[in-house]
C-alpha cells in the first residue's frame, strides 16, 4: 500500500522552515528544523510521542512562536505577521485536529456552517447549504448532517473534522495524528480520504503521525523527527531501508512486521 504518484511542483515551496528552535523552560523540543514542502506534496512527519511533531505544526499556523528560525508559509514569514494578516493566512490552511475538535452542542451541519459563515459573511443561505452538502459528499457522510457528534463513530468524527477544514477550500492541509485511536479498517478509510482530498482539492499537506501504515499510504516523502531534528528525510522506502539503528528502533516501535 503506497501513496499515489502526484504532480508535485518542486519549484514552488509552500512551507519552509530553517534552523527552527523551540524550548519550553529547560526542555528543548525543536533543535534546528529545516523543512521544505512543495506544492501538491503530502509530507509525513514521523516521530514517537513527545518528539515535537505537534509543536511543529502549531508553529507553522502561528499558534506558537519559535524561539528562533524562519517559518515561511505561502510566501509569508508567519512569526512576523500581525493578527489580521495571520488570520488571513490561516484561511488558506486547514488544520485537522487529533480529537476532531467538533462542538458537542452543534449538529454536524452546524459544525460545518460555523467556520464558513464566520469567515465568508456574504454567502447566501443557499450557498451555505450547498457548501455543507458538497463537503459531506466529499468525505462520504452526506446523511450525517442532522446528527450530533456524540452519535458519530471515531472515524466519522475524523471525517467531519476534515470536512470542516475543507469547507473553506484551503491550499494547505495539516493533519495531526489522523489515524490515532482508530481500528485498522477505519485507518485505511482515513488514509484513502487524505489521498482523495489531495487529488480533489489540489492541496499540499503535512501529516503528523507515528503510524507507519498511514505514512506509507499517504506520503510522497517522510521525515523522521529525533532529538529535535529531522534525522532522515526521503521516500518511505528510502527511509526505512536505512541501516541506521534509530530507524529500526522507530520501525519496531510501531509493532509492524509487514507493510
pLDDT in tens, 176-210: 999 988 999 999 999 999 999 999 999 999 999 98
Predicted confidence (pLDDT) at residue 21 exceeds the cutoff of 60: yes
The predicted structure's pLDDT at residue 119: 87
CB count within 10 Å of CB 88 equals 12
The predicted structure's pLDDT at residue 159: 93
**What's the mean per-residue pLDDT of the chain?**
91
- Reported in sequence order, the residue ranges of the chain that DSSP labels E, i.e. its strands, are 9-24, 27-39, 42-46, 68-73, 76-77, 93-96, 172-176, 204-209, 221-226, 229-234
**Sheet of strand 42-46, all strands in order from the earlier edge strand to the far edge:** 93-96, 172-176, 204-209, 42-46, 221-226, 229-234
Report domain extents, the chain: 1-92+205-259
CB 62 within 8 A of CB 15: no
Predicted confidence (pLDDT) at residue 257 exceeds the cutoff of 50: no
Predicted confidence (pLDDT) at residue 258 exceeds the cutoff of 50: no
Structure confidence by residue, pLDDT tens digits, 132-155: 999 999 999 999 999 999 999 999
How distant, in Å, are the alpha carbons of 60, 105, 139, 185, 205 from that of 108? 28, 10, 13, 23, 24
Choose between 97 and 232: higher pLDDT: 232
- Give the homologous superfamily in CATH for domain 1-92+205-259: P-loop containing nucleotide triphosphate hydrolases (3.40.50.300)
Phi and psi dihedrals of 63, rounded to 5? -80, -25
Lowest-confidence region among 205-209, 230-234, 251-255: 251-255
227's grid cell = 532529538
Report yes or no on whether pTM surpasses 0.85: yes
Amino acid at each position: 500500500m503506497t501513496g499515489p504518484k502526484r504532480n508535485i511542483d518542486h519549484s514552488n515551496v509552500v512551507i519552509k522552515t530553517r534552523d527552527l528552535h523551540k524550548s519550553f523552560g529547560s526542555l528543548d523540543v525543536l533543535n534546528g528544523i529545516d523543512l521544505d514542502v512543495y506544492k501538491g506534496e503530502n509530507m509525513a512527519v514521523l516521530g514517537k510521542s513527545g518528539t515535537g511533531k505537534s509543536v511543529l505544526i502549531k508553529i507553522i499556523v502561528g499558534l506558537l512562536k519559535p524561539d528562533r528560525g524562519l517559518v515561511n508559509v505561502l510566501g509569508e514569514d508567519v512569526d512576523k505577521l500581525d493578527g489580521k494578516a495571520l488570520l488571513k493566512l490561516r484561511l488558506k490552511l486547514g488544520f485537522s485536529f487529533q480529537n476532531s475538535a467538533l462542538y458537542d452542542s452543534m449538529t454536524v451541519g452546524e459544525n460545518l456552517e460555523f467556520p464558513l459563515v464566520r469567515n465568508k459573511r456574504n454567502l447566501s443561505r443557499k450557498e451555505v447549504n450547498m457548501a455543507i452538502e458538497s463537503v459531506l459528499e466529499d468525505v462520504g457522510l452526506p446523511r450525517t448532517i442532522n446528527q450530533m457528534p456524540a452519535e458519530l463513530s471515531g472515524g466519522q468524527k475524523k471525517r467531519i473534522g476534515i470536512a470542516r477544514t475543507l469547507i473553506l477550500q484551503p491550499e494547505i492541509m495539516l493533519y495531526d495524528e489522523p489515524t490515532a485511536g482508530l481500528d485498522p479498517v477505519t485507518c485505511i478509510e482515513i488514509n484513502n480520504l487524505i489521498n482523495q482530498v489531495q487529488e480533489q482539492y489540489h492541496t499540499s499537506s503535512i501529516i503528523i503521525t507515528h503510524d507507519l501504515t498511514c505514512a506509507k499510504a499517504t506520503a510522497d516523502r517522510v521525515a523522521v523527527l529525533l532529538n529535535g531534528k529531522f534525522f532522515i528525510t526521503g521516500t518511505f522506502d528510502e527511509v526505512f531501508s536505512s541501516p541506521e539503528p534509530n530507524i529500526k528502533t522507530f520501525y519496531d516501535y510501531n509493532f509492524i512486521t509487514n507493510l
